Every structure is written in C-alpha cells, then in structure tokens.
C-alpha cells in the first residue's frame, strides 16, 4: 500500500514539473517573455526584413491597446534588429509608434498611416520595452509620443537616429554602453526630461540633440571628449557627420535648468555651443 502511494506521489510530482516547464514558455518559437513583461504579438506590428535579410525591421505599431508596449525579440524566427529605419529616401521618416485614431482607420481602409500631426494621431503609449536584439532606433521612431514616460533601451543598441524621441514625455533616460551615435534632435523638445546618463562609448552627439529640454538638470557625461556636430542630410541615406557643424538650435540650447557645474562639464567634453 505504501509502495503504491509513493508511486502515485512521484507521478504527481512529474506532472507538476512538466506543467512548470511549459508555463515558462519553453516551447514558444517567436519572442517569449522578457524582463519587461509579456511581449506584444507580432500582429501588433508591420515589419519587413532588413537589407541583409537576416533580421526584422519594425516599420509601424498597429496595436489598439496603447499603455505599455513590449517589442518581441523574434518575429517569424528572425531577430528584431531595428525599430524603424536610419533613413531611407524610399520610406521617409519612420514614426513607428504613430497611432491612428479609430476614425482615421475607418476612413482610410488599408492605407498605411505615416502622419504624426493633428487630430488623426493618438498618443496613448506610456512605456516601451525594446529587446536585447535591437541595434538601431530609427529616425522619428517615437516622435511626438507625448504620453511616453518610460523607455527600456537594449544593451545591443548602437545608434539613436535623428528625432527618435523628439517631443516625447520621457522624464529620464539612461543610454546604454555600446551606443556610439546620438543623432540630430534625438531628444529635442522633451520638456519633462530631467535626468540623462550618456555612455562611455558615445563618440558623436548631434546638433539639437537636447534642444529645448527645459527640465534638464542632471546629466552624466563620458569621461572622454565627445565629437559634436550634425549629420548633413545630402541624400537622406544615413547622412554624413560634419564635426563642429552645429544646427541652428545647438545641442544643449534652451536648457535653462542646467547648473553651472553641469554646463562646465558639457563644455569640458568638447561642446562649443550655447545653453
């Protein structure tokens, strides 16, 4: 009798173990849970293969829920490597997270949505988690997402392109080690952005990158000098960086809350513009 009881107990334990493994998502092909929570399904995005044909580029967000968005690490077996394009004249600025209103969708069946102005745009996304497969956040990807307060950037990230977070509601940002370029107007107009941490790997910081960040008080800079300038958009296919060439509104122009010590640190890093 005792032997039968022990065998039954062992059987129950095996079943529980199998259920526990299954609940961890061991059989999930695309994506899987991340530290940021449950990933949004692939159907919440329009996407394509990159030029190399070995990774996914997220072209636009088509979900209807807003709130927190967790970008999947894989779609159809390919790693997600880019959020929007660096700049491609055939595609234009990305505006990946520009949500159309329900009325716009009804009035424009099947039409791609690429505007970011006026009453046709919703701004309900409050937080975004990007997986550790993404190397590029493209031009204008989150532009005008005014409700966006939090962003989790991946350790794999290399480039933050022009206007990527322009006029968003971010309150603080930590750019991870590994990022080498932050391009023109990347965080321009983020009027709630109070704290910024830049990585040691940062080599180039574009014109107007933090222009009109009127709440900015705290900034941590690399210990080595930064090359300041801007990207000349001659052919809009990546652009050419011109060191020392500032845009009309310069990198840290109109940041009135920066302390004297912060301004000195910025000047010591190689910045020759105005505040």
**Chain-centre distance for alpha carbon 182:** 12
User: Which domain covers residue 145, as residue numbers?
Assistant: 30-268
Q: How far apart are the first and last CA of the chain?
A: 84
User: Residue 12 domain-assigned?
Assistant: no
HEC string for 52-80: CCCCEEEEEECCCCCEEEECCCEECCEEE
The predicted model gives 16-22 an average pLDDT of 40
pLDDT tens digit sequence for 154-172: 999 999 998 999 999 999 9
Question: Residue 239: pLDDT above 90?
Answer: no
Cα R_g (the chain), whole angstroms? 22
Query: What torsion, rounded to 10 degrees, do the Cα atoms 164, 167, 169, 170 define?
Result: 40
- In angstroms, the CA 241 to CA 238 distance is 9
Cβ atoms of 115 and 107 within 8 Å: the answer is no
User: Residue 235 domain-assigned?
Assistant: yes
Across 151-164, b (16+ Cβ under 10 Å) vs e yields bbbbebbebbbbbb
The total of structural domains in the chain comes to: 1
User: Residue 274 domain-assigned?
Assistant: no
Kindly report the pTM of this predicted structure: 0.80
- In angstroms, the CA 153 to CA 135 distance is 10
User: Residue 275 domain-assigned?
Assistant: no
Cβ atoms of 152 and 175 within 8 Å: the answer is no
Neighbouring C-beta atoms of residue 205, cutoff 10 Å: 26
User: Residue 19 domain-assigned?
Assistant: no
The predicted model gives 115-141 an average pLDDT of 82
Give me the pLDDT at residue 143, please. 87
Give me the pLDDT at residue 109, please. 81
User: Residue 202 domain-assigned?
Assistant: yes
- In angstroms, the CA 68 to CA 246 distance is 35
User: Residue 20 domain-assigned?
Assistant: no
Give me the pLDDT at residue 46, please. 87
**H/E element, 155:** none
Q: Write the CATH number for 193.
A: 3.80.10.10
For 187, left (φ over 0), alpha (ψ -120 to 50), or beta? alpha
User: Residue 4 domain-assigned?
Assistant: no
């Amino acid at each position: 009798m005792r032997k039968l009881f022990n065998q039954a107990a062992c059987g129950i334990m095996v079943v529980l173990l199998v259920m526990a493994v299954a609940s961890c998502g061991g059989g999930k092909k695309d994506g899987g849970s991340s530290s940021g929570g449950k990933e949004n399904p692939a159907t919440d995005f329009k996407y394509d293969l990159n030029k190399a044909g070995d990774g996914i580029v997220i072209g636009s967000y088509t979900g209807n829920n807003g709130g927190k968005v967790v970008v999947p690490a894989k779609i159809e077996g390919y790693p997600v490597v880019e959020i929007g394009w660096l700049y491609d004249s055939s595609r234009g600025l990305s505006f990946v997270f520009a949500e159309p209103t329900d009325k716009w969708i009804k009035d424009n069946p099947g039409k791609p949505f690429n505007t970011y102005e006026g009453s046709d745009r919703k701004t309900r996304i409050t937080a975004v988690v990007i997986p550790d497969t993404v190397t590029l956040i493209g031009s204008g990807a989150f532009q005008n997402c005014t409700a966006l307060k939090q962003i989790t950037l991946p350790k794999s990230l290399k480039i933050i392109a022009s206007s990527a977070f322009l006029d968003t509601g971010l309150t603080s940002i930590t750019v991870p080690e590994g990022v080498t370029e932050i391009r023109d107007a990347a965080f321009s107009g983020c009027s709630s952005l109070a704290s910024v941490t830049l990585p040691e790997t940062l080599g180039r910081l574009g014109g107007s990158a933090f222009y009109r960040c009127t709440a900015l008080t705290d900034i941590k800079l690399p210990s080595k000098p930064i090359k300041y300038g801007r990207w000349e958009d001659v052919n809009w296919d990546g652009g050419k960086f011109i060191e020392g060439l500032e845009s009309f509104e310069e990198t840290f122009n109109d940041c009135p809350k920066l302390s004297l010590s912060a301004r000195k640190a910025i000047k010591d890093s190689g910045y020759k513009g105005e505040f």
